[in-house]
């Protein structure tokens, strides 16, 4: 009889990459459902197109470069769905598809695939689309608008709460509308409730730890309270419930590949995301900061990790961060 | 009170119920034994017998100078050969092959002792050495050297047995706790500790109740029951759990005033000193879903895995991996000729259903390996820099502090062979130091 020979350990826990990605997909379902309730069935088609484009794009990329297939790990599907959730329901389908392929091929594949990418693929793709097609991805239909499933989408656009906050003024929408999702915006940013349900599921399943979301949201809360132009408490709550900061904190910033692996690094990273989000929102031209805040902090992950080495057993003081 | 715990760790399925139910049985005597001349960490023994010699059970077969303890004949019979033989450590090693005459003529190299209190330190150490004692938890460090470090603050008898599947120490405590406790007291006599602890995990309820009962009317030996978590029984982790001290990086337990002995080693100390019996047999858990009737067996040293497995009903169909030791730190065996040595606490046969490996391991940087590492390392980087042989970065990430417990690889959702990579990386850094 031939026995397999290899190094220990010989048993592995049941956790797999595929299971983790499946959990992320499950956690995004409430948000997709909420977006569909607010903006209609076109959201589902955008999500389907984006997800399919990401999966097919990855399959073709791996095939053409002679690498084994990875679509089974579901990470491409997660990227596709996440991208769809950062886009408005009115986005042309082909645009979502272009973004999804860019995400999995350029942002992820070029860097060596899953776990090797520096930038969050979905967010980098969104950044690209904002750069190329600002008119299509930064104009939003009002909640409840009937958006046609096919043909040129030409509906009345509405200001999002963040647009008001650039003024600066408190948005017209009530906090309850903000929480439930009865506002204009991207598919996945409108319903804070749905995002929190998904986030709670990820924490319960131990897919994410609370360090990054809590330090991110905490920093946004403290800064928006401290530097509020008016009504600090309301301003803080509106800041937390608008502009995709919850989607970013729970689903984007917590992305494994692009955030630090050390506990201390994760806290600093979350805080950095928070600071940049608040700065970009108050200074920038676009009424959003989350995308660029997280992308910039992605680039700083390695540095943060090196400034926050883990404490070594038996060594009271560990030799410094960067070599 | 300080929480008795250590950093990181994992909770693999124990699977101890496979073997813990069956009674402890003697393995039928084998027709032939292969006694490796290296059954300890250190230098191999020089053989003291030659082919054709008749040997008695208990007779010394080999000995040597320096970091070396003798090996003994576990059966009586004729030396058939002295030749390289498969070894649970992986590399073939010279062994004395004895054909059993089943006469069991006994002649021990160590004298028995009635009045152990009268023995001085040298007398105890000498007996421990002559009996060939090594750490029986699997590390196989010579016990006499470990026991001659002078006075310590804390003496810990390690009965944690945190590896999944293994129930050998559990079986020992359930059947022969008195001998184990007496061994602990003999080590106290040598090391004069202020505190003596028998540490055990709370999943061994029967052993805990037996020990509690036997230790109730005295105060010199303390029983500490720890919540089950792997790798509780790793030396540094156990010291941290019991005393709160961290053995310094690159240091030894004595640097924090501790000495740790496996509980089976303690029982062997008693057997050696009181009964004058060298290590001739040990309890081996033969288990796993690849074994017909998993059980704990008392196996003569040098018995082939094939014979021991036969005594446990044989293998069930296809076996995926055959492991000497537990599934977290044990070594895979190429075939069944491997002999049981002093450090073989288990023979585990896993089936294809236990195979959690992935043909395309991928790091997704989830950081779970960092969270479970009991040494505070960053295994994902040890893996990466081992694979690209970056000596500088491996040193920076303290690769030599890795105890190879396997928590990182066990927990990795990307199924990276992290420990395998680290084993390849360590020599790079060691060479660089020279």
How far is residue A39's CA from residue A157's CA, in Å, rounded to a whole number?
Answer: 12
Give me the helices (H) in A168-262, please: 175-180, 192-204, 211-226, 232-241, 245-247
The predicted pLDDT at position A320 comes to 47
Tell me the average pLDDT across B287-311.
97
Tokens of B166: 């293994």
Helices (H), B78-161: 121-130, 143-146
- Hey, is the C-beta of B314 within 8 angstroms of any chain A C-beta? no
Q: Which of A146, A140, A104, A144 is nearest to A121 (CA)?
A: A104
Distance between CA atoms of residues A67 and A113, nearest Å: 10
Inter-chain contact B356–A13, Cβ cutoff 8 Å? yes
Mean pLDDT confidence for B128-153: 94
List chain B residues with CB under 8 Å of A309: 378
Q: Where are the domains of chain B?
A: 1-24+112-355, 368-433
Q: Does pTM surpass 0.90?
A: yes
pLDDT digits (tens, 9 = 90+) for B338-397: 999 999 999 999 999 999 999 999 999 999 999 999 999 999 999 999 999 999 999 999
Dihedral through CA B301, CA B307, CA B308, CA B312, nearest 10? Answer: -160
Say if domain B1-24+112-355 classifies as CATH 3.40.50.11540. Answer: yes
pLDDT tens for B309-330 read 999 999 998 899 999 999 999 9
Give the DSSP H or E segment for A76.
helix A75-85
Interface test with A, best of B364, B381, B395, B426 (most A CBs within 10 A): B364
Burial class of residue A214 (count of CB atoms within 10 Å of its CB; 0-12, 13-18, 19+): middle
SS3 A150: coil
* Average pLDDT for A215-238: 94
With beta carbons under 8 A apart, name residues in chain B contacting A311: 376
CB contact under 8 A, B328 and A9: yes
Tell me if A10 and B330 make a contact (CB, 8 A cut-off). Answer: yes
pLDDT grade for B1, boundaries at 50, 70 and 90: low
Tell me if B141 sits within 8 A of B134, measured CB to CB: yes
pLDDT above 90 as % of chain A: 76
For A173-187, A207-221, B33-47, which range has the lowest pLDDT when averaged over its residues? A173-187
Region A275-303 average pLDDT? 90
CB within 8 A of A258, min separation 6: which ones?
A117, A118, A119, A120, A298, A301
Instruction: Work out the number of other CB atoms within 10 angstroms of the CB of residue A227.
Output: 12
CA distance B154 to B117: 21
**The pLDDT of residue B2 is above 90:** no
The partner residue sitting opposite A12, judged by closest CB among B356, B393, B404, is: B356
Interface A–B counts its CB contacts (< 8 A) at 162
Tokens 């100390």 appear where?
Answer: B269
* Cβ separation B413–A20 shorter than 8 A: yes
Task: Give the H or E element holding residue B209.
Answer: helix B205-214
Strands of B32-36's sheet, edge to edge?
B32-36, B93-100, B77-85, B54-55
pLDDT (0 to 100) of residue B84: 97
- Any chain A CB within 8 A of the CB of B4? no
Mean pLDDT of B296-321: 95
pLDDT tens per residue, range B159-168: 999 999 999 9
Structure tokens given for A144: 């409840």
Place A157 in a pLDDT band, splitting at 50, 70 and 90.
Answer: confident
Which of B143, B136, B88 is closest to B330 using CA atoms?
B88
Q: Quick check: A17 contacting B, CB < 8 Å? A: yes
Domain count, chain A: 1
Q: What is the pLDDT of residue A287?
A: 64
Which runs of E-coded beta strand occur in B71-183?
71-72, 77-85, 93-100, 154-159
A-contacting residues of B 72-131, CB under 8 Å?
none
- Min Cα–Cα distance to chain B from A192, Å: 25
The enclosing domain of A121 has a CATH number of 1.10.3430
Tell me, yes or no, whether A201 lies in a domain: yes
Q: Give the residue from A60, A105, A61 showing the smallest Cα distance to A83.
A: A105
Do residues B197 and B224 lie in contact, with contact meaning Cβ atoms separated by under 8 Å?
yes
Total count of residues recorded for chain B = 434
Show the CA angle centred on residue A233, arms to residues A230 and A236, nearest 5°: 85
pLDDT band for position A318 (cuts 50, 70, 90): very low
Query: Would residue A322 count as lying in a domain?
Result: no
pLDDT in tens, B179-228: 999 999 999 999 999 999 999 999 999 999 999 999 999 999 999 999 99
- For the ranges A143-152, A231-240, A295-304, B424-433, the lowest mean pLDDT is seen at A143-152
- Cα gap A284→A222, rounded to integer Å: 20
Residues 333-372 on B with a CB inside 8 Å of A are 333-336, 348, 350, 354-358, 360, 362-368, 370-371
Instruction: Please judge whether B401 and A313 are an interchain contact, meaning their C-beta atoms are less than 8 angstroms apart.
Output: yes
pLDDT at A119: 98
Q: Which of B366, B374, B412, B424 has the most A C-beta neighbours within 10 Å, making it the best mutation to test the interface with A?
A: B366
Rounded Cα distance, A243 and B280, in Å: 73
Q: Encode pLDDT of A99-129 as tens digits.
A: 999 999 999 999 999 999 999 999 999 999 9
Average pLDDT over residues A48-72: 97
CB B319 within 8 A of CB B46: no
Nearest CA in chain B to A10: B327
Indicate yes or no: CB of A256 within 8 angstroms of CB of B328. Answer: no
Nearest CA in chain B to A1: B335
Q: Specify the DSSP class assigned to residue A284.
A: S
Q: Which pLDDT band, with edges at 50, 70 and 90, does B126 fall under? A: very high
Closest CB from A11, A310, A311 relative to B164: A11
Q: How far is CA B53 from CA A168, A300, B79, B278, B303, in A?
A: 99, 71, 5, 20, 20
Question: Which pLDDT belongs to residue A139?
Answer: 83
Say if residues A170 and A228 touch (Cβ distance below 8 Å).
no
CB A18 within 8 A of CB A207: no
B336 → chain A, closest CA residue = A1
For residue A285, pLDDT beyond 80? no
Host H or E run for residue A31: helix A17-39
**Percent composition of chain B: helix, strand, coil (DSSP 3-state, to 5):** 30, 20, 50
The DSSP H or E segment spanning B226 is: strand B222-226
Tell me what percent of the residues of chain B surpass a pLDDT of 70: 99
- pLDDT, average across residues B274-294: 96
State which residues form the domain around A244.
17-307
Percent of chain B at pLDDT exceeding 90: 92
Give the chain B residue whose CA is nearest to the CA of A4: B321
Partners of A16 on chain B (C-beta within 8 Å) are: 358, 413, 415
The reply to whether residue B327 touches residue A263, judged by beta carbons under 8 angstroms, is no
Residue B347: which H helix or E strand, with range?
A: strand B346-350
- Element of type H or E holding B260: strand B258-262
d(CA B411, CA B327): 14
**Mutation to test the B interface, candidates A1, A10, A19, A259, most B Cβ within 10 Å:** A10
Judge whether A11 is closer than 8 Å to chain B, CB to CB: yes
Q: Which residue has the higher pLDDT, A212 or A323?
A: A212
Q: Indicate whether A323 belongs to any domain.
A: no
Please tell me which of the candidates B249, B333, B398 has its beta carbon nearest to residue A3. B333
**Tokens at residue A219, please?**
């920093």
CB contact under 8 A, B414 and A68: no
Q: How close, in Å, is residue B381 to chain A by CA atoms?
A: 10
Mean of the per-residue pLDDT values of chain A: 92
Predicted confidence band of residue A230 (pLDDT cuts 50, 70, 90)? confident
Give tens-digit pLDDT for A247-279. 999 999 999 999 999 999 999 999 999 999 999
Is B423 strand, coil or helix? helix
Contact A9 B335 (CB under 8 A): no
Does the pLDDT of residue A166 top 80, yes or no? no
What does the pLDDT average to over A162-166? 77
Which residues in chain B are closer than 8 Å to A260, comparing Cβ atoms?
A: 367
Q: pLDDT-derived band of residue B114, with 50, 70 and 90 as boundaries? A: confident
> How many whole angstroms from its chain centre is CA A250?
7
| Cβ contact B378–A261 (<8 Å) | yes
Mutate to test the interface with A, among B367, B372, B395 (most CBs of A within 10 A): B367
- What's residue A322's pLDDT? 40
Contact A17 B10 (CB under 8 A): no
Query: How much is the pLDDT for A17?
Result: 96
Selected residues 293-312 of chain A with any CB under 8 Å from a CB in chain B: 309-312
Of A81-90, A151-160, B299-308, the range with the lowest mean pLDDT is A151-160
């Amino acid at each position: 009889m031939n026995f397999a020979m290899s190094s220990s350990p010989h048993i592995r826990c049941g956790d797999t990459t595929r299971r983790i990605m499946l959990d992320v997909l499950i956690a995004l379902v409430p948000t997709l459902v909420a977006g569909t309730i607010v903006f209609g069935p076109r959201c589902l088609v955008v999500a389907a197109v984006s997800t399919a484009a990401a999966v097919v794009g990855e399959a073709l990329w791996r095939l053409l470069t002679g690498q084994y297939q990875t679509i089974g790990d579901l990470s491409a599907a997660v990227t596709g769905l996440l991208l769809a959730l950062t886009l408005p329901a009115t986005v042309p389908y082909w645009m979502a598809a272009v973004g999804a392929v860019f995400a999995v091929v350029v942002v992820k594949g070029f860097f060596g695939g899953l776990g090797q990418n520096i930038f969050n693929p979905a967010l980098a793709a969104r950044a690209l689309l904002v750069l190329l097609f600002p008119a299509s991805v930064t104009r939003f239909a009002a909640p409840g608008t009937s958006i046609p499933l096919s043909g040129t989408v030409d509906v009345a656009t509405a200001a999002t709460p963040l647009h008001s906050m650039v003024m600066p003024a408190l948005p017209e929408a009530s906090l309850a509308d903000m929480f439930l999702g009865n506002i204009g915006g991207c598919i996945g940013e409108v319903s804070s409730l749905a995002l929190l349900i998904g986030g709670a599921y990820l924490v319960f399943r131990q897919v994410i730890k609370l360090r990054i979301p809590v330090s991110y949201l905490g920093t946004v809360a403290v800064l928006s309270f401290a530097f509020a132009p008016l009504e600090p408490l309301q301003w803080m709550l509106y800041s937390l419930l608008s502009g995709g900061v919850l989607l970013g904190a729970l689903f984007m910033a917590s992305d494994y590949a692009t955030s630090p692996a050390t506990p201390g690094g994760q806290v600093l990273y979350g805080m950095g995301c928070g600071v940049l989000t608040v700065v970009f929102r108050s200074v920038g031209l676009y009424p959003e900061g989350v995308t660029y805040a997280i992308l910039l902090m992605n680039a700083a992950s390695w540095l943060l990790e090196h400034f926050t080495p883990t404490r070594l057993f038996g060594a009271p003081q560990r030799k410094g961060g960067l070599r | 009170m300080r929480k008795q715990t250590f950093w990181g760790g994992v909770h693999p399925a124990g699977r101890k119920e496979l073997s813990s139910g069956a009674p402890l049985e003697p393995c039928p005597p084998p027709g032939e034994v292969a006694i490796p001349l290296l059954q300890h960490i250190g230098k191999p023994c020089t053989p003291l017998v030659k082919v054709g010699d008749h040997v008695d059970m208990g007779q010394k077969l080999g000995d040597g100078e320096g970091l070396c303890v003798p090996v003994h004949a576990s059966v009586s019979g004729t030396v058939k050969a002295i030749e390289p033989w498969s070894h649970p450590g992986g590399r073939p090693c010279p062994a004395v092959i004895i054909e059993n005459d089943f006469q069991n003529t006994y002649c021990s190299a160590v004298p028995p002792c009635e009045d152990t209190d009268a023995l001085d330190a040298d007398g105890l150490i000498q007996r421990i050495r002559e009996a060939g004692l090594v750490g029986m938890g699997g590390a196989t460090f010579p016990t006499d050297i470990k026991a001659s470090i002078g006075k310590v603050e804390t003496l810990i008898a390690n009965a944690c047995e945190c590896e999944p599947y293994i129930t050998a120490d559990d079986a020992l405590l359930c059947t022969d706790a008195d001998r184990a406790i007496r061994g602990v007291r003999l080590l106290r006599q040598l090391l004069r500790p202020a505190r003596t602890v028998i540490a055990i995990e709370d999943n061994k309820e029967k052993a805990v109740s037996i020990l509690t009962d036997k230790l109730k009317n005295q105060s010199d030996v303390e029983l500490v029951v720890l919540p089950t978590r792997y790798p509780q029984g790793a030396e540094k982790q156990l010291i941290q759990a019991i005393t709160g001290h961290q053995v310094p990086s690159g240091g030894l337990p004595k640097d924090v005033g501790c000495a740790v002995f496996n509980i089976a080693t303690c029982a062997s100390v008693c057997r050696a000193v009181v009964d004058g019996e060298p290590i001739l047999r040990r309890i081996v858990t033969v288990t796993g879903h690849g074994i017909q009737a998993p059980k704990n067996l008392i196996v003569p040293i040098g018995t082939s895995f094939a014979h021991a497995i036969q005594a446990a009903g044989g293998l069930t169909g296809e076996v995926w991996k055959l492991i000497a030791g537990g599934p977290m730190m044990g070594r895979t065996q190429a075939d069944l000729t491997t002999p049981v040595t002093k450090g073989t606490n288990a023979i585990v046969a896993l089936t294809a259903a236990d195979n959690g490996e992935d043909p395309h391991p991928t790091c997704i940087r989830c950081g779970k390996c960092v969270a479970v590492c009991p040494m505070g390392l960053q295994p994902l980087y040890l893996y990466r820099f081992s694979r690209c042989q970056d000596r500088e970065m491996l040193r920076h990430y303290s690769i030599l502090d890795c105890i190879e417990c396997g928590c990182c690889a066990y927990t990795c959702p990307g199924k990276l062979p992290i420990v395998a990579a680290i084993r390849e990386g360590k020599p790079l850094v060691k060479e660089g130091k020279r």
